[in-house]
């Protein structure tokens, strides 16, 4: 056992280094660390996409298809993040609450009638919080 190496390693316990190609003039050290710490949100979003949203693997071979798929995935993650942060509910709870909500426009003898699902419980609370955050 190299006890000198062990002691040297103990001196560095609890220290963490961050390496970036961005200059300190453009991004201060504390901002680099904050950006790194925000990665857990991205990782959590991808875990959520795989589980709660029941996302399936997609295999694309053309650049346009790959970019379109990534755009849709990131848009869905952005919407999901907004919903969870605004409502305070998990995405699973949001999906469960909102899945039965349906609005339909029916045309009867030239007249349009809107049939709406009444909002109750969590669904009503989620929609109210979204409206409040949008200033309605």
Domain spans of the chain? 38-98
- pLDDT at res. 88: 95
Q: In the prediction, which pLDDT does 54 show?
A: 63
d(CA 134, CA 87): 12
The pLDDT, as a whole number, for residue 94 is 93
Low-confidence ranges of the chain (pLDDT < 70): 42, 45-58
Which one-letter DSSP state was computed for residue 7?
Answer: H
Q: How far is Cα 136 from Cα 117, in angstroms, rounded to an integer?
A: 20
pTM: 0.55
Q: How far apart are CA 82 and CA 97, in angstroms?
A: 16
CB burial of 68-106 (b: ≥16 within 10 Å; e: otherwise) equals eeeeebeeebeebbebbebbebebeebeebbeeeeeeee
Q: What is the pLDDT of residue 135?
A: 85
């Amino acid at each position: 056992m190299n006890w000198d190496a062990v002691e040297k390693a103990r001196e560095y316990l609890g220290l963490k280094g961050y390496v970036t190609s961005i200059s300190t003039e453009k991004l201060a050290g504390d901002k680099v660390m904050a950006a790194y710490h925000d990665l857990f949100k991205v990782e959590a979003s991808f875990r959520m996409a795989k589980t709660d949203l029941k996302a399936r693997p997609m295999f694309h071979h053309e650049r346009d298809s790959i970019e379109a798929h990534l755009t849709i995935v990131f848009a869905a993650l952005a919407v999901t993040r907004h919903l969870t942060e605004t409502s305070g509910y998990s995405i699973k709870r949001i999906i469960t609450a909102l899945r039965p909500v349906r609005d339909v426009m029916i045309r009867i003898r030239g007249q349009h009638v809107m049939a709406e699902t009444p909002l109750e419980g969590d669904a009503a609370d989620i929609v109210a919080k979204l409206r409040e955050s949008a200033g309605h």
